Structure 1
Amino acid sequence: MKTIAIAGTFDTKGEEYLYIKRIAEELGLGTLMIHTGVFEPSFAPDVSGREVASAAGMDIEELAARKDRALATEVLSKGLEKLVPRLYKEGKFDGIISFGGTGGTSLVAPAMRALPIGVPKVLVSTVASGNTAPYVGTSDIIMIPSVVDVAGLNSISTRIFTNAIFAVAGMLTFEHSHLPEKKSLIAATMFGVTTPCVTAARKHLEERGYEVLVFHATGIGGQSMEALIEAGFIEGVLDLTTTEWADEIIGGVLNAGPHRLEAASRKRIPQVVSVGALDMCNFGPADTVPDRFKDHTFYQHNPTVTLMRTTVAENEQIGRKLAEKLNLAEESTVLMLPLRGISAIDVEGQPFYGPEEDRMLFDTLRKQVDRSRVEVIEMDCAINDPAFAEAAAHKLIELLQASYS
């Protein structure tokens, strides 16, 4: 029998949680009730708030005595983040559901994110229709707008809660009998201006039996790829579009954070890296670009996306940072440089064509990359030329085959 974990604060009547428990059991699911509150619950849970607080190294009575809601949320969230993955590994549950406002959502979401990709996780929340990135992150949490407040039962909340538990029940009950054949997973990064390259490289890899997961280099895309690499899903990386570093360094809106381009080195898996779309930094509509960049060259990709050409000085900064990350590698890492253009609009006749800017990027990488750790391959073509795509794919296959032997 499949079991669903139901996490929440059972301090008051807890009727909504008892309702969910009853529906789950009617559907043939077992339940694991996890109390995330400080005070005595209205019914006996399977996992107490004391156990949750203890997992974070805190005594529940001391936490209650402080009467500090923010502290309690922080402690219980940390405890839940440690406890929930452990309970899952012990086989105590198969999927998880919770309900919350801003506090409850913030408390439970980290624990859900700590569970493996593919474990059903549903969070009914009052903030599900807004910016969910702080809660979902790079995980596969399903957030359902609660429409009304999550406390108590009424004609609207009952319908929402029922749909949520039916969703989890469906994920736990039904199994797909036509799953594709398991293949070696390759992660690849792409942007609109590197699509021809990555599409062609992907075709070469798929023809040779690899499955390619393409991540759009929009910040969350790079973060998601790094998370999957860290989790052990990925066997090789075709990181041809490292544009997120331009946004991270310059201040654009599509940055992936300071740990981009680290996971493959840490996991010691083969990676072929290039400088795709580092000619640009991304902003929203034109009127959102900070005044300090008014001397830059711009290209209006569409009404909501403004691209800004990176300068010579900025490309030196980007080159240094890229080299720093590449030098973390101890094996199986190749840097490929397309000397005639690093994006579709950085070739002769296009708006971001910049030989001087590109030269600074290439020269910085040549000087800063540790050749004892990283092989550097230069090609006299643009990144979207078929020859570059084929060479990148073949190089990754070569690295993968060497790693298998």
Structure 2
Amino acid sequence: MTNYTGYIYAAATADTKGRELFYVSECIAETGAEVLTVDLSTQSVNGTSRADFPPELVADFHPDGRDAVFCKDRGKAIDAMALAFKIFLSRRQNLAGVIGLGGSGGTALITPAMQALPVGVPKVMVSTMASGEVSGYVGASDISMVYSVTDVAGLNRISRKVLGNAAHQIAGAVLFETDSDDDEKPALGLTMFGVTTPCIQQVSEKLEKDYDCLVFHATGSGGRAMEKLTDSGMLSGLLDLTTTEVCDLLFDGVLACDETRFDAVAKKKIPCVISCGALDMVNFGHPSTIPEKYAGRLFYHHNAQVTLMRTTPEENVAMARWIAEKLNRCEGDMVFLIPVGGFSALDAPEQPFWSPDANLAFITTLEETLLQTRRRKIVRLPYHINTPEFAHAAVQQFRQLAEKEF
């Protein structure tokens, strides 16, 4: 057990989830961890709340004051209290972890504040929504979602077990905190997809002696997680070699980044080597889910739930322009490496997505649109992205940039 300092914050709308909230707080307290309760009710209770932090106190953190929360419109009230709670939680100097309880409204209210906390701060959300699609609630954070099984509406033989387990989960995460290695090797972010795995494995092997290599799967949430860590100052450099999430953003794929992709590196100005890994494909689910407008395109059946679509020259032009316009805002040291020999395992001679014309459309458009400077450069390499030669060049370019920083 580590010597932690701080409190676990337990949050719920106590006007409807009060019994559950205080049951969870009691379970946490029995472990020896210290706990504070937060009432997120979206109507004023005029000082009658049992919680350590009543809803009026939290609502006062809204930029427009408590009236923005206690507005008698449930949807607007939830949104307003979510913002107030996000600000409230961000200013807790003694926060060791947070646990939330809720249905659909409570989950939407509590999880934005959790997402805003640094990765590594323990976060548990007990929710009726946890058995379905939870990406909107989790985002790029490390929130642990616990399905409530029964509704969060009273205590019974099922809810006591589930809530008690969740209470012990958050308490255990706080009491047995994992030691941080922040004072050791600087951390690097690397992006990888299955079709660029050989590249990233080789790059990681060459750098792991001097750097802590954090590999992010380029599935949309992976890119957002890397951006979040970059923005929080936890990464000292990037080898963002697999930028395939842009394909899905622009062409209806299911593993899309959002419009903020590349913003964190522009803001933090950390050394960055970027490439066009897997820009030859858009990701869809089962073939039946592919939009009708893409009928007749070149597809590759990856597995029962993943279908890949080859990007066209016209789509490569659009991607190159989008990426270049983003990277033109980067004032730090950045090199864009172009593997002329192919962008992925499927984009190689005798492979199904091999299309030199499509790749050339990307390359020429990027070179025309990206404004090269002393610190922002494009380098063409006559290699496939998964070759040892490309990995060696990527590492060499990064080390040259990093020498200026470390």
CA RMSD of aligned residues (A): 1.8
Task: Name the counterpart of 1:321.
Answer: 322
CA distance in 2, matches of 1:233, 1:21: 32
Matched, 1:107 2:113: no
Q: Which amino acid aligns with 2:120?
A: G
Task: Name the counterpart of 1:157.
Answer: 159
Q: Which amino acid aligns with 1:56?
A: H
Q: Return the offset for 1:345.
A: 1.4
Match for 1:128 among 127, 130, 142?
130
Write out per-residue CA displacement over residues 244-263 of structure 1, whole angstroms, 9 at most, x where no aligned residue: 11111122111111111221
Match for 2:192 among 184, 190, 193?
190
CA distance in 2, matches of 1:330, 1:108: 36
Q: Secondary structure at the match of 1:403?
A: coil
CA distance in 2, matches of 1:9, 1:292: 45
Q: Determine if contact 2:62/2:68 at 8 Å carries over to the other structure.
A: no
Task: Name the counterpart of 1:287.
Answer: 288
Q: Determine if contact 1:102/1:126 at 8 Å carries over to the other structure.
A: yes
Task: Name the counterpart of 1:200.
Answer: 202
Q: Which amino acid aligns with 2:345?
A: A
Q: Secondary structure at the match of 1:14?
A: helix
TM-score by length of 1: 0.94
Match for 2:382 among 373, 380, 383?
380
Q: 1:239 to 1:60 in 2, by over 3 A?
A: closer
TM-score by length of 2: 0.94
CA distance in 2, matches of 1:400, 1:361: 27
Q: Return the offset for 1:309.
A: 0.9
Q: Return the offset for 1:163.
A: 0.6
CA distance in 2, matches of 1:13, 1:402: 54
Q: Name stretches of at least 5 consecutive residues in structure 2 with no aligned partner.
A: none
Q: Determine if contact 2:69/2:81 at 8 Å carries over to the other structure.
A: no
Task: Name the counterpart of 1:309.
Answer: 310
Q: Secondary structure at the match of 2:318?
A: helix
Matched, 1:71 2:73: no
Match for 1:39 among 37, 44, 50?
44
Write out per-residue CA displacement over residues 104-146 of structure 1, whole angstroms, 9 at most, x where no aligned residue: 1111111111111111111111011111111110111111110
Write out per-residue CA displacement over residues 281-329 of structure 1, whole angstroms, 9 at most, x where no aligned residue: 1111122222211232111111211111111111111111111112111
Task: Name the counterpart of 1:81.
Answer: 86
Q: Secondary structure at the match of 1:257?
A: coil
Matched, 1:49 2:50: no
Task: Name the counterpart of 2:339.
Answer: 338
Q: Return the offset for 1:331.
A: 2.4
Q: Determine if contact 2:313/2:357 at 8 Å carries over to the other structure.
A: yes
Q: 1:235 to 1:178 in 2, by over 3 A?
A: closer
Task: Name the counterpart of 1:96.
Answer: 98
Q: 1:205 to 1:62 in 2, by over 3 A?
A: closer
Q: 1:258 to 1:13 in 2, by over 3 A?
A: closer
Task: Name the counterpart of 1:26.
Answer: 30
CA distance in 2, matches of 1:290, 1:47: 48
Q: Determine if contact 1:11/1:42 at 8 Å carries over to the other structure.
A: no
CA distance in 2, matches of 1:12, 1:180: 41
CA distance in 1, matches of 2:64, 2:226: 34
CA distance in 2, matches of 1:359, 1:393: 24
Matched, 1:16 2:20: yes
CA distance in 2, matches of 1:322, 1:176: 37
CA distance in 2, matches of 1:235, 1:178: 16
Q: 1:13 to 1:130 in 2, by over 3 A?
A: closer
Q: Determine if contact 1:12/1:42 at 8 Å carries over to the other structure.
A: no
CA distance in 1, matches of 2:241, 2:8: 41
Q: Determine if contact 2:89/2:113 at 8 Å carries over to the other structure.
A: yes
Q: Return the offset for 1:61.
A: 6.3
Q: Return the offset for 1:62.
A: 7.4
Q: Return the offset for 1:14.
A: 2.0
Q: Choose 169-178 or 114-123, whichever is displaced more.
A: 169-178
Q: Determine if contact 2:187/2:212 at 8 Å carries over to the other structure.
A: yes
Aligned residues, how many?
399
Task: Name the counterpart of 1:352.
Answer: 353
Q: Return the offset for 1:81.
A: 0.7
Task: Name the counterpart of 2:9.
Answer: 5
CA distance in 2, matches of 1:119, 1:276: 32
Matched, 1:173 2:179: no
